[in-house]
Amino acid sequence: MADRDPIKLQKAEHLEEVVVPDAEKTADALRKSRRTKVLLALVAAKLAIGGGWYMLHDSGSVSTDNAYVAADSAQVTPLVSAAVTDVAVVNTQVVRKGQVLLRLDDSDARLSLAKAEAEYFKARRQFSQTAANSGSLAAQINAREADVGQAQAQLASAKASLDKARIDLGRRSELASSGPYPAKS
């Protein structure tokens, strides 16, 4: 601009026509480049914040679909087979010793208990009847033993009477043959 004469410029004799590119296109291009830069800066900021969050909070935990847990786990096996009526815990919940995990249908067990009680009372009744019959039979045996004892006493008495009668017969026979009385002729 220094090579141009300011006086000539004032007179505008030598004006050159300056071609200005389309102003709207230029403004649009400028807005688009600013918008792209802002969006790239937002994406970069979001990535930086996400990376920082991961480094600070999630770096201690590992996630996978095929892994082993370094914790105590146990298989739960019931002692009886029955239908499950209620589950008191959810998957991966921490449980303590003695905590109820699930409830089983106990209707079959109750029926079995009632049947066993009925059989028990039937057996007790049969035992009582047998014991009563046994007591009656024992009394009859004792009575028969007393009868046997009485019969043995009667036998001994009869034997003693028989012995006495033989002795008496033997003495009378002797007396009769030698006798105090003379034999009649």
Instruction: Assess whether pLDDT exceeds 80 at residue 47.
Output: yes
Which has more confidence, 153 or 80? 153
Rounded to 5 degrees, φ, ψ at 103 are -120, 135
Give the tens place of pLDDT for each residue, 110-150: 999 999 999 999 999 999 888 888 888 888 888 888 888 89
Kindly report the number of other CB atoms within 10 A of residue 156's CB atom.
10
Q: Is residue 88 a contact partner of residue 102, using CB atoms and an 8 Å limit?
A: yes
Q: Which amino acid is at 58?
A: D
Task: Name the pLDDT band for 43 (thresholds 50, 70, 90).
Answer: very high
Q: Is residue 101 a contact partner of residue 76, using CB atoms and an 8 Å limit?
A: yes
Give long-range contacts, CB 8 A cutoff, 24+ apart: 51-54.
none
